[in-house]
Amino acid sequence: MSYESPIREPLVTGGKGYHDITEGVLAPLEKKPNMTWLAAFGLSAMVMTMGVSLIIWTFFEGIGAWGLNKTIGWAFDITNFVFWVGIGHAGTLISAILLLFRQTWRNSINRAAEAMTIFAVICAALFPLIHMGRPWVGAFWVLPLPNTRGSLWVNFNSPLLWDVFAISTYFSVSLVFWYLGLIPDLASIRDRAKNKIAKAIYGALSMGWNGSTRTWHRYEIVSLILAGLATPLVLSVHTIVSFDFATSIVPGWHTTIFPPYFVAGAIFSGFGMVQTLMVVTRKVYKLENFITLSHMDAMAKIVILTGSLVGIAYATEFFIAWYSGNTYEQYAFINRMFGPYWWSYWAMISCNVITPQLFWFKKVRENMLLTFIISIFVNIGMWFERFVIIATSLARDFMPANWALYTPTYVEVGIFIGTFGVFFTFFFLFAKFLPVVNMFEVKTLVKDDTVVDHGHHDDHGDQHSHSAEAGVSHSH
């Protein structure tokens, strides 16, 4: 039997039993979408369509449709790439690392966080492709495939190539991990489905799941193996992304603090987005008993920790620039604070360092409106952080003759906004057709007395309740 500290508040409230969890999580899936969902989905689909249209326009017009110049060859595109990759980190961290450390508070939020990871990586992958200008001509050059190019191969010394392998591996493992966790819940939907087509689709997706002890045992083994594979990926992917900058000689980039700094920032922004989604999801889908204030409190504490680490990294950068005695490094950081892009630097500091400190107060952590607002500020600040690192460092390099300023065009801004349309369109579809909360893992948190009190619900013919109980007993 698993042990839960009597001091900690319960992670499932309202005296919910196995059947109550099944009903509460699957109810939104089994009802027709309401007008609010249709309106939100329609809006996100329109924004996505706008973004796709501007991407197509970029292909026809060329990268000259953007505000890039001879000095600043990376700007919105790579800023948005790093931003979306960072958001994708919290999902795998919640799924893999917290699973290995047996943190049970992850059970209610891991499903949505994993889905968020997949959608964010899809958004991130768009930008390097678009940046190529003509991806159908050159995208295959990053793949070490047998070809007729003779001795011309990809440059394995380039961090840009490492990105391709790191992110594709990260996406693949995250997708398999997410789908694996869905299988028991897909079987529950299959057993409850009244429509023959839905029953056939969910039946195929559940891959013959029967809820036996052997099935659960194999499931847990595979989950731990995938968690072991995903854990180093969480730390390595954004480390490799940071190498895109750290291996250069550009002042402000050439620094060894980037790998841990980028990883902390990625987890920081990822948890900020998870908070944003969970505040809305728990309210709209009436999941307050499963995504409780304890979950929100734990996420807020991680935001405090990672936000503080990011703040320390900012201070360390300035200290090392001063301590190095390198004139170019010193000027790069002074320019960040007081140069032409000063507004982006101070927006970054305000959102990433100052605002999250409000989470030190328990009343703020338990206030969902304030949590939502702070989480939005976190993501705004993390976008500005990437913009500050990229644009301000390139705008003022070694030679004043090369100095230039960058102003984004409506095409770049529209494509970035369009990726939010892509992200939320996928998330709305996910929330409508798949369970947002991992039912069987939440059921492992239900205490025995709750199960006894609600044992009469098992007579309702919910096949998954019986198989889940077997799984819960096995897990314990």
User: What pLDDT is recorded for position 471?
Assistant: 45
CA separation for the pair 437, 431 (Å, rounded): 9
- pLDDT score of 224 more than 60: yes
Q: Kindly indicate the confidence band of residue 243, based on its pLDDT and cuts at 50, 70 and 90.
A: very high
Q: How far is CA 169 from the centre of its chain?
A: 15
Owner of token pair 């970035």: 416
Kindly report, residue by residue over 268-301, the tens digit of the pLDDT.
999 999 999 999 988 888 888 888 888 899 999 9
User: What pLDDT is recorded for position 447?
Assistant: 67
Kindly report, residue by residue over 360-377, the tens digit of the pLDDT.
999 999 999 999 999 999
Q: Kindly indicate the confidence band of residue 459, based on its pLDDT and cuts at 50, 70 and 90.
A: very low
Give the predicted TM-score (pTM) of the model: 0.88
User: What pLDDT is recorded for position 461?
Assistant: 38
CA separation for the pair 108, 101 (Å, rounded): 16
Average pLDDT over residues 438-467: 55
Which domains are delineated in the chain?
A: 18-136+154-475 (1.20.1630.10)
For residue 98, what are its two tokens?
A: 């917290």
User: What pLDDT is recorded for position 156?
Assistant: 82
CA separation for the pair 419, 333 (Å, rounded): 31
User: What pLDDT is recorded for position 27?
Assistant: 83
Going from the C-alpha of 164 to that of each of 169, 181, 237, 242, the distances in angstroms are: 8, 26, 10, 13
- The mean predicted confidence, pLDDT, of the chain is 86
Average pLDDT over residues 179-208: 90
Q: Which residues of 266-295 are buried (b: 16+ CB within 10 A; e: fewer)?
A: bbbbbbbbbbbbbbebbeebebebbbbbbb
